[in-house]
Amino acid sequence: MPGSELRLCGLDAKEVFGETMASVAERDPLLSVVVSDYGRRLNLERMRQTLPEAFVQCGIAEQSQVEVASALANEGFHVVAPSYATFITSRVLDQVRVMLGMMNSPVTLVGLSAGCEAGTLGASHMALEDIACMRTIPGVTVVCPADNVELAAVLEELAASPRPAYVRISQYESGMCIHAHGASTPIGKAEVLREAPGARVALLATGPLTGEALRAATLLAHEGIESCVLEFATVKPLDTAALDGLAGCELVATVEDHSVQGGFGSAVAEHLAGQAHAPRVLRLGMPDEYLEADLPMRLLERAGLTSEGIASSIRSCL
């Protein structure tokens, strides 16, 4: 029911993570949640009541966290390993490369406070390179949910069908409940959120800035610039068929709260570069630099990633 989806969207993503783990625990005795100190903030009390032995605490040691998670997954457990996005990707990159990549351990890594959500803590806690790190590991699925409804659906799907995966979570004040009627698009498929036959512009978004992309499309439409909007919750494997369907557009603009280097926009550009008559690509994301501490929305505004900033960049490009 839409009411339950709207309730999820009104929660903190960490609460939704805990609720989803509790729901999975009620029907999956093989669930295991491996944490590195951060677990006390993840609303896992109900899960621990249902499956007390499913909670594994590794302390402040993310490398060990991935190793323990891999060992459990290789023994048949359905393993989820959450931590700050910066720590569960770049800090443990060698472990991920060997265990989720080479060994194909079916672990779901969950990166919390990704993008510039933790902007007040400074550059050390802003995860602006995590997509780039994870999508270079062969065999690792990379998913960036747009809202909490999609987050819950993605976690449920990965629990039911374990594989090496990274789920990126970021949340901002301006976030929109994209899936108020439920999230049904499976991992690996793009979703058309705004149709515009004959559109000059295709706005492609991943993660919570999908709402800003939708608002930007509305602003542009008021100026006579028609744009379709597609959400790519899955960055890897990329829905290349959806990209190939954009050949008639004048401009493809990608939107993400990640560095313009190596993220979703780069993945789109890499694919379209091999097409004979591909549209131009405008990559909108965080700048290729270390940012000083600031409020998340101010960081997004300075990077031109609000609806007004996105519309302005597209207008200038056209």
CATH number of the domain to which 285 belongs: 3.40.50.920
Same domain, 241 and 207: yes
Q: Please give the structure tokens belonging to residue 10.
A: 């009104």
Among 109, 107, 103, 106, residue whose Cα is nearest residue 87 = 109
Same domain, 213 and 145: no
Same domain, 33 and 161: yes
Alpha-carbon distances, residue 199 vs 86, 226, 254 (angstroms) = 37, 5, 15
Residue 173 lies in a domain: no
Same domain, 116 and 225: no
- Provide the CB-side half-sphere exposure for 135 (13 A, CA): 23
**Secondary structure (H, E, C), 193-221:** EECCCCCCEEEEECHHHHHHHHHHHHHHH
Q: What gap in Å lies between CA 142 and CA 110, rounded to an integer?
A: 10
Same domain, 13 and 151: yes
Same domain, 207 and 156: no
Q: What CATH number should be reported for the domain holding residue 127? A: 3.40.50.970
Same domain, 270 and 196: yes
Same domain, 99 and 236: no
pTM over 0.85: yes
Secondary structure letter of residue 252 according to DSSP: E
Among 76, 138, 135, 78, residue whose Cα is nearest residue 111 = 135
CB 127 within 8 Å of CB 93: no
Q: What gap in Å lies between CA 203 and CA 278, rounded to an integer?
A: 15
Total of domains in the chain: 2
Domain boundary among 135, 168, 201: 168
Same domain, 115 and 23: yes
The pLDDT tens digits along the chain (318 residues) read 457 898 999 999 999 999 999 999 999 999 999 999 877 789 999 999 999 999 999 999 999 999 999 999 999 999 999 999 999 999 999 999 999 999 999 999 999 999 999 999 999 999 999 999 999 999 999 999 999 999 999 999 999 999 999 999 999 998 899 999 898 889 999 999 999 888 999 999 999 999 999 999 999 999 999 999 999 999 999 999 999 999 899 999 999 999 999 999 999 999 999 888 899 999 999 999 999 999 999 999 999 999 999 999 999 999
Q: What gap in Å lies between CA 272 and CA 263, rounded to an integer?
A: 15
Residue 127 lies in a domain: yes
In the numeric block, the tokens 């009541």 are attached to 49
Same domain, 155 and 222: no
- For residue 146, the enclosing domain spans 2-168
In the numeric block, the tokens 């698009």 are attached to 185
Among 149, 155, 249, residue whose Cα is nearest residue 204 = 249
Same domain, 163 and 196: no
Residue 183 lies in a domain: no
45's CB contacts (< 8 A; 6+ apart) are: 18
**Strands of the sheet with 227-231, listed across from one edge:** 191-194, 227-231, 201-205, 251-259, 280-286
Among 159, 85, 309, 133, residue whose Cα is nearest residue 235 = 133
Q: What gap in Å lies between CA 174 and CA 294, rounded to an integer?
A: 16
In the numeric block, the tokens 């493809």 are attached to 252
159's CB contacts (< 8 A; 6+ apart) are: 24, 28, 31, 78, 80, 108
Domain boundary among 168, 199, 216: 168
Same domain, 152 and 255: no
